[in-house]
């Protein structure tokens, strides 16, 4: 008996076990309603107060889980405006409901119309406006506030998104190059929720990298966990593909796919999910080069990687993409070898800096054209 009590006491001391910890939440549905407008006072021409509104504000360090826990019954109602009275001709406005959400949340209505994209700190979106107070225009009767159901959809904001099949070594790399401490294990689907790590450079520049759960064939059609998490790479500036040089086999029931086929399969998955993702700059990492036999495979693979389009015939038809990805860089690495990983770090930065420069030049040109148009053809030439 004493042993049992001791065991129970012990088990409450430590940190909660992984499966008891609250899981990652990246969507939330809420019903929101603006406050009712207060009534006016016809005798004195008094105007009722406007109802309060419900609005979202993006804040750092907030999670959707926290918001879900703080909202009772998933309903948020702002208070109504006060009626106009003899002592207060203009009724007081209702109190607004301010809800803090994580940065990167998009707010949609029931028809999937985007109401607001809260992608920077303090960005605000009014989800339900308050009703107008009673006045001459509405017979002194206050109007009800907006009422709707909104869907909050969190899309992580990171500079780089790690994409690959399970077990490729994505988390091993993230752990080696950033401050993140992801779980690493020799079985597929070790990572079950997205995680962001920050790479710090000696000049204090920081780059954020998102590690996503491994994709599987059919992820675009919601097989595995892929579809749920693919949305998180929509906002990244660079896609970092990672493949195992020895290929990947999900289970005994699934065929073994070699490294080249896996690259096409990842390409296909992204294409089927959203072809515009392929327009993003991409870098390919071929991992586990430290293992025996890897160098031989690499010698045969390298020429194919430089001509991915002409090698398409080698790929099974069902995995063949229509638009082949063009990789900015292809690096053979070993995520376990810190020397090689340092190279990934510097190459990532170089690629991102080059992209930022290109954008800067493109933006400058766009601005110049716009200015020239405003000044007119006869105005001074803007250079
Ligand atoms: N030999 C060798 N093993 C590696 C290397 N990188 C990763 N591994 C091993 O590969 C296994 C999978 O690594 P993870 O980092 O968990 O792979 P992952 O891509 O994050 O997998 P999921 O989270 O399931 O998608 C682990 O046993 C790692 O130790 C490498 O460069 N060389
Ligand atoms: Mg992982």
Under 8 Å between Cβ of 101 and 67: yes
Residue position matching structure tokens 């515009």:
276
Under 8 Å between Cβ of 85 and 147: no
What pLDDT shows up at residue 380? 59
What pLDDT shows up at residue 25? 83
Give the C-alpha separation, 167 to 292, whole Å.
Answer: 18
Class of domain 160-360: alpha beta
Ligand 1, atom 3: closest residue by C-alpha: 288
What pLDDT shows up at residue 26? 87
What pLDDT shows up at residue 23? 65
Distance 262 CA to ligand 2 centre (A): 17
| pLDDT tens readout for residues 29-43 | 999 999 999 999 999
Give the C-alpha separation, 118 to 306, whole Å.
Answer: 39
Distance 118 CA to ligand 1 centre (A): 34
Distance 281 CA to ligand 1 centre (A): 24
Low-confidence ranges of the chain (pLDDT < 50): 14-21
Ligand 1, atom 14: closest residue by C-alpha: 169
Residues, the chain, total? 383
How does 272-299 read in b/e, with b if 16+ C-beta sit within 10 Å? ebeeebbebbbbbbbbbbeeeebeebee
What pLDDT shows up at residue 78? 97
Residue position matching structure tokens 């780059």:
207
What phi and psi values does residue 27 have, to the nearest 5 degrees?
-140, 150
**212 by DSSP, 3-state: which?**
coil
CB of residue 336 inside a 6 A radius of ligand 1: yes
Ligand 1, atom 13: closest residue by C-alpha: 169
Same fold: 24-154 with 160-360: no
Under 8 Å between Cβ of 128 and 145: yes
Residue position matching structure tokens 């009722």:
48
Ligand 1, atom 32: closest residue by C-alpha: 288
- Going from N- to C-terminal start, the domains of the chain cover 24-154, 160-360
Indicate if the alpha-carbon torsion angle 110, 115, 118, 123 is positive or negative. Answer: negative
Neighbour-count burial of 70, counting CB atoms closer than 10 A to its CB (0-12 exposed, 13-18 middle, 19+ buried): exposed
Cα 121 → chain centroid: 15
| Superfamily name and number for 24-154 | GTP1/OBG domain (2.70.210.12)
């Amino acid at each position: 008996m004493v042993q049992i009590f001791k065991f129970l006491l012990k088990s409450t001391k430590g940190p909660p076990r992984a499966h008891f910890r609250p899981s990652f939440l990246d969507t939330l549905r809420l019903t929101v309603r603006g406050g009712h407008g207060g009534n006016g006072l016809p005798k004195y021409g008094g105007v009722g107060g406007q109802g309060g509104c419900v609005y979202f504000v993006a804040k750092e360090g907030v999670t959707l889980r926290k918001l879900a826990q703080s909202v009772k019954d998933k309903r948020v109602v702002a208070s109504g405006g006060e009626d106009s009275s003899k002592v207060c001709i203009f009724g007081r406005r209702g109190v607004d409901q301010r809800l803090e959400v994580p940065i990167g949340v998009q707010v949609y209505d029931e028809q999937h119309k985007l109401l607001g994209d809260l992608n920077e700190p303090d960005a605000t979106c009014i989800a339900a406006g308050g009703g107008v107070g009673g006045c001459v225009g509405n017979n002194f009767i206050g109007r009800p506030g907006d009422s709707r159901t909104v869907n909050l959809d969190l899309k992580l904001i990171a500079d780089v998104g790690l994409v690959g099949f399970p077990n490729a070594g994505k988390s091993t790399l993230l752990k080696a190059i950033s401050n993140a401490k992801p779980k690493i294990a020799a079985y597929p689907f070790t990572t079950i929720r997205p995680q962001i790590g920050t790479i710090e450079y000696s000049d204090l520049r920081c780059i954020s990298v998102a590690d996503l759960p491994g994709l599987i064939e059919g992820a675009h059609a919601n097989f595995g966990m892929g579809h749920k998490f693919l949305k998180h790479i929509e906002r990244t500036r660079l896609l970092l593909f990672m493949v195992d040089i020895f290929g990947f086999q999900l289970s005994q029931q699934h065929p073994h796919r070699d490294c080249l086929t896996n690259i096409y399969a990842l390409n296909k998955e992204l294409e089927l999910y959203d072809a515009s993702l392929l327009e993003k700059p991409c870098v390919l990492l071929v991992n586990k080069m430290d293992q025996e036999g890897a160098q031989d495979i690499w010698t045969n693979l390298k020429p194919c990687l430089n001509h991915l389009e002409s090698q398409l015939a080698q790929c099974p038809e069902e995995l063949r993409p229509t638009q082949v990805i063009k990789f900015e860089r292809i690096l053979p690495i070993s995520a376990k070898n810190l020397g090689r990983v340092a190279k990934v770090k510097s190459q990532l930065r170089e690629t991102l800096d080059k992209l930022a420069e290109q954008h800067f030049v493109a933006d400058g040109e766009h601005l110049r054209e716009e200015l020239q148009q405003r000044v007119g053809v006869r105005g001074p030439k803007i250079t």
